[in-house]
Copies of this chain bind each other. A is one copy, B any other.
């Protein structure tokens, strides 16, 4: 949804935040990945949405029409690819919440998948767009797993305070919009 300029603000300078550029988080990341690809920085793609196809019609020779299909629960994350020879894997989520990120936003097998990638030497993480703060954080999967384990008999969410402490703030930019590879550079360095 486009956020039209608010008349009441008059001539006040408007902060060009993520939200009022009228784009959802998925599109922001896709745009960023297109930038990386076009500039030969990384090859990272969004996976298609998993669908169970039940009925397909062939009304003409030109092509098939899917007439009945259902959404399936994804078994992996939305994004993966390669950067500087490293396997990259992540999930991206936005939240409208005011104080915390609910862990119910991520399927348990997605957490398990990120853990596996970590164990196999890849770089895996969660990108969280906190709309109320207009900030995007990268949370390493090792931290996500800790919070996920805590949720078994404790808090079912990660507070924004915790995300700010453990996560890395993604620097805001124009091109690329969500320059998360800046933080991945740091993760690669840390890996040694």
Contacts and interface: CB of A to CB of B under 8 A. Distances in A.
B51 A66 contact: yes
Contact of A67 (B50, B67, B84): B67
A166 interface: no
Interface string A44-66: 01011111010000000001111
B45 A85 contact: no
Interface stretch (A70-78, A94-102, A125-133, A135-143): A70-78
A68 interface: yes
Interface in A101-128: 113, 116-117, 119-122
A121 B50 CA distance: 28
Q: How many copies altogether? A: 2
Interface string A76-91: 1000111111110100
B120 A83 contact: yes
A85 B51 contact: no
Interface residues on A, range: 35 or more
A51 to B, nearest CB: 5
Contact of A66 (B40, B70, B80): B70
A70 B75 contact: no
Nearest to A89: B82
Contacts of A144: none
Contacts of A89: 82
Interface of A: 37, 40, 42-43, 45, 47-51, 53, 63-72, 75-76, 80-87, 89, 113, 116-117, 119-122
Given A40-B119, A43-B122, A51-B66, 14 more contacts: A43-B117, A45-B76, A47-B48, A48-B51, A48-B72, A64-B70, A64-B71, A66-B69, A67-B68, A69-B69, A80-B80, A82-B117, A82-B120, A84-B121
